[in-house]
């Protein structure tokens, strides 16, 4: 009988300590963090972070629904972790910290890096062609990056017959990915929202004091 009580007490303490360490403590930490005023790269003062609104907020739902977090993370690791590999890959200029995530529910840290980290993908896009490039990449990954393992998200796009003038949103596809003459590929509202969400992902917009190393 005494052993049973000891065993039950040990199990209870194990689960309680795990819950306190993995659930309660992070909850308390996140609840005490507030937005902060900072200065962007181009000298503009703003509050950071800010909650997503409108199409970008909807795009986050599309991102979750399509399981993007299973292949992409949104967390830049410290310069002291792995020889600063994340920053050397140009995935960010500083590590991500608690404040970066205070408006995110759930927090999309990711589970794998089959593809590159996306915490600051909007910053990288500035040299890649922005939204147009990403629509092409979502529809035909291997057209944009030969050998890519990323699956096509062509189901987020609509193939339709051209009547009158081609749509301004039509994808400029080439080679085997181009539609037959008289047809065009255009993004659905879900595709536009997903790209809008990705276009605002820039956790490095403000150099937070707690992120300095």
Domain extents in the chain: 52-211
Q: Strands, DSSP E only, in the chain?
A: 36-39, 45-48, 157-161, 183-187
Q: Regarding the domain delimited by 52-211, which CATH topology (the fold level of the hierarchy) does it fall under?
A: Cytochrome Bc1 Complex; Chain D, domain 2 (1.10.760)
Q: Enumerate residues 6+ apart whose C-beta is below 8 A from 28.
A: none
What does the alpha-carbon distance between residue 48 and residue 208 come to, in Å, rounded to a whole number? 9
**Global confidence as pTM:** 0.83
- Is residue 1 scored above 90 in pLDDT? no
C-alpha 23: how far from its chain's center? 23
What pLDDT does 140 receive? 95
What pLDDT does 195 receive? 95
What pLDDT does 117 receive? 94
What pLDDT does 27 receive? 60
Q: What is the pLDDT of residues 22-39, one digit of tens each?
A: 665 666 665 677 888 888
Q: What is the pLDDT of residues 38-93, one digit of tens each?
A: 888 778 888 989 999 999 999 999 999 999 999 999 999 888 887 788 888 889 88
167 — pLDDT class (breaks 50, 70, 90): very high
State the burial class of residue 52 (Cβ atoms within 10 Å of its Cβ: 0-12, 13-18, 19+).
middle
What pLDDT does 51 receive? 93
- CA contacts within 13 A on the Cβ side of 10: 6
Mean pLDDT (the chain, rounded): 87
């Amino acid at each position: 009988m005494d052993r049973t009580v000891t065993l039950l007490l040990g199990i209870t303490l194990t689960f309680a300590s795990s819950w306190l360490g993995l659930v309660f403590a992070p909850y308390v930490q996140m609840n005490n963090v507030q937005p902060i005023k900072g200065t962007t790269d181009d000298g503009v003062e703003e509050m950071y972070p800010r909650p997503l609104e409108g199409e970008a907020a909807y795009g986050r739902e599309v991102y979750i629904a399509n399981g993007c977090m299973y292949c992409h993370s949104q967390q830049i690791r410290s310069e002291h972790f792995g020889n600063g590999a994340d920053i050397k890959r140009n995935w960010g200029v500083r590590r991500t910290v608690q404040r970066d995530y205070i408006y995110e529910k759930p927090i999309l840290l990711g589970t794998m890096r089959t593809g590159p980290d996306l915490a600051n993908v909007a910053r990288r896009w500035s040299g890649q062609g922005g939204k147009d490039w990403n629509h092409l990449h979502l529809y035909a990954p291997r057209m944009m990056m030969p050998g890519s393992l990323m699956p096509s998200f062509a189901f987020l796009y609509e193939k339709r017959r051209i009547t009158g003038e081609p749509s301004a949103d039509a994808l400029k596809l080439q080679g085997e990915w181009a539609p037959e003459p008289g047809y065009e590929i255009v993004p659905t509202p879900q595709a536009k929202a997903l790209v809008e969400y990705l276009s605002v992902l820039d956790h490095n917009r403000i150099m937070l004091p707690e992120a300095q190393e």
